[in-house]
Amino acid sequence: MSAIDTIKDTVAKNDVVLFMKGTKMMPQCGFSSRVAGVLNYMGIDYADVNVLADADIRQGIKDFSDWPTIPQLYVKGEFVGGCDIVTEMTLSGELDQLLEAKGVAFDKAASEKIREANKES
């Protein structure tokens, strides 16, 4: 199976997938850590794919999404974005709306706490 086939299969079989450097329990870069932290805090059940463990997957995910950076978040087969986009969507409430529209369970109170903690004073 090619890297692209593996990626397609992973994205198809999991409601939420984060292609990241490291794992959800041990991220190995700040950007991956931020996105995993948001997903973990919001109680989202997601698959993590450590791109550092496989060079073909690491390049393949960039080709698959036509997006040059990692991490990359997918929800119900749809590419959502990287760290900056996920952060902005979390703070604006757009991530909540996307998860609700796609039928993905998450802790709404936790997402509210993230926004409250990041409000400009």
- Say which CATH number the domain at 97 has: 3.40.30.10
Residues 60-112 have pLDDT tens digits of: 999 999 999 999 999 999 999 999 999 999 999 999 999 999 999 999 999 99
- Residue 121 domain-assigned? no
Query: What confidence category does residue 37 fall into, taking pLDDT thresholds of 50, 70 and 90?
Result: very high
- Residue 120 domain-assigned? no
Q: What is the span of the domain harbouring residue 43?
A: 3-114
Residue 93 DSSP label = T
- Residue 92 domain-assigned? yes
Give me the residue label for tokens 């990241």.
20
What are the strands of the beta sheet with 47-50, ordered from one edge? 47-50, 16-20, 72-75, 78-81
Number of structural domains the chain divides into: 1
- Residue 119 domain-assigned? no
- Residue 60 domain-assigned? yes
- Residue 74 domain-assigned? yes
Residue 51 has pLDDT above 60, yes or no: yes
CB 53 within 8 A of CB 21: no
- Residue 51 domain-assigned? yes
